[in-house]
Amino acid sequence: MKRERFFDGPFSAPTSRGPAQVPSDLLDFVPSLAQVLETSDPSIPALRDFSYRCDEPMKLWGGRMSHWVDWTTSDTALVASTSDSGVVALVEELIARWSWAWPDVAAQVLPLRMPDFLARLTQACASDPRYKRKRHGFRRDWLDTALHEGLFEHFRTSHRWPDPVAQHCGSCGRLFAPETLSHWMRQYGPARYCASCCCRARNGCVSHSADAVRSAVRDATAALGFIPAQDIAGTADLNSLEGPPRDRAMAALICLPEVRAAATALGITQVSGRWLAILQACGVVGDAWRPAMGTMCFAQDGHACRSLGERSIDDFMARSGIEHIAEPHWPIHPTINPDGRLRADWRLRDGTLVEYVGLMETASYRQRIAEKTLLAADLNQRLLVISPEDLQTLDKVFERWFTVPPPRPSRDDGGEPGDDVH
């Protein structure tokens, strides 16, 4: 396999080879993991060093900044001029968690957590005499480079972080070089799983019998803490998990069958609603049906839910002893809610209204949530907004409403209902 590098020197570990050495505690929770890892490794990206070394020169041949041929120390100075104490604090937080991989994460996190910094960067580029007349496409590429390599070049002169060190994969146990992980593998959190296991989790398992499919789907539901959506392979985000819960979630994703393979094994021929049919065949979901939008179903306490995500939250509150009323009316407001028809998803005992936002990709839905947020602010109404990303950490979301967090579901109880299946 061809090795592409950003700098001279060996990788921290050779290519992972040999049999897997699965940790025994993972096998207790996801028994099928050992069998899945016995199959041939999937195709993985060419070995390449994606790490950011503190002492790496800026314009190394074929290196990190070579795609931006005009980047100079003046550009780095522009990035430095827009940084403030908030940017420094956030970068230090990312370095502490992600070490050498922090610039890739910073490029995603900074625009979301500090939009004012992105605005300052844009203004700095637009005001620079060299770029004042450049078009939008040029400025967009400049900003992308500034958020990745520009921040790296600026902070490497004032901060230090360790180089990547060879480690054993938390799933298969084999030694691997963490600096060879592709950018998209950051969805599984800081480096802990080899590229082969990351690709397995992303691709889905295709060699499953009907019994194995049922077991794998139930294991994934228990390990993740919610019923996986059809696109879970591409959307799974394990960054909020630590320790054993994170390893179990990763192992379950590795064993989770690919949708078409699961349907074939279970004898499901329908295309529309295929994933819901798979979940029902595995005993994870009971009575449910698909209207034009969402999934209608019932929680364990009998409350009607419009999605499996709502059902997950309702069931969690019921198990945790959190008193809740389903679909309460919002208070009347002269302009936003004059007729009092707006409803929340739940109201808690202390009056807090809870909204689960599972369709934020829809413009009309985003508008409705924005109106409810404004309504809450105008009425001084306590509002708890829960996103699909919060489903696996509901114990943290609701920690102020109960004294003892409930245990995560075991692999024998069918798991915890959850994520939207749209």
| 244 in any annotated domain | yes
Same domain, 236 and 316: no
**CATH, residue 342:** 3.40.960.10
Q: Please, are residues 361 and 350 in contact by the beta-carbon 8 Å criterion?
A: no
Q: Please, are residues 415 and 215 in contact by the beta-carbon 8 Å criterion?
A: no
Within 13 Å, how many C-alpha atoms sit on residue 284's CB side?
Answer: 31
Return the pLDDT at 5: 44
Q: How many CB atoms lie within 10 A of CB 73?
A: 10
**Distance between CA atoms of residues 328 and 313, nearest Å:** 16
Same domain, 134 and 210: no
Q: How many CB atoms lie within 10 A of CB 267?
A: 8
Q: Please, are residues 405 and 214 in contact by the beta-carbon 8 Å criterion?
A: no
Structure tokens, 22: 């699965």
| 226, 260, 294 - which closes a domain | 260
Same domain, 183 and 232: yes
Within 13 Å, how many C-alpha atoms sit on residue 415's CB side?
Answer: 33
Q: How many CB atoms lie within 10 A of CB 91?
A: 22
Return the pLDDT at 95: 96
Return the pLDDT at 80: 94
- pLDDT tens-place string over residues 180-192: 899 899 999 999 9
| Ramachandran region, residue 327 (left: φ > 0; alpha: ψ -120 to 50; beta: rest) | left
**Distance between CA atoms of residues 207 and 195, nearest Å:** 20
Q: How many domains does the chain have?
A: 3
The alpha carbon of 149 is separated from its chain's Cα centroid by a whole number of angstroms, namely 23
Same domain, 120 and 197: no
Extract the residue ranges of the chain whose pLDDT is less than 50.
1-8, 61-63, 65-66, 412-422
| 91 in any annotated domain | yes
| 34 in any annotated domain | yes
| 5 in any annotated domain | no
By residue range, what is the domain housing residue 372? Answer: 304-401
Same domain, 32 and 178: yes
Q: How many CB atoms lie within 10 A of CB 258?
A: 15
Same domain, 79 and 37: no
SS3 132: coil
Same domain, 331 and 349: yes
As a dihedral over the C-alpha atoms of residue 14, residue 18, residue 24, residue 27, rounded to 10 degrees, the angle is 110
Same domain, 86 and 31: no
How far CA 93 is from CA of 88, 106, 112, 187, in Å, comes to: 9, 10, 15, 18
Same domain, 201 and 247: yes
**Distance between CA atoms of residues 295 and 311, nearest Å:** 10
Same domain, 339 and 256: no
Structure tokens, 365: 């839905």
Same domain, 245 and 199: yes
How far CA 416 is from CA of 32, 227, 284, in Å, comes to: 20, 7, 9
The single-letter code of the amino acid at 202 is: R
SS3 297: strand
| 233, 260, 287 - which closes a domain | 260
Measure CA of the first residue to CA of the last residue in the chain; give whole Å.
40
| 386 in any annotated domain | yes
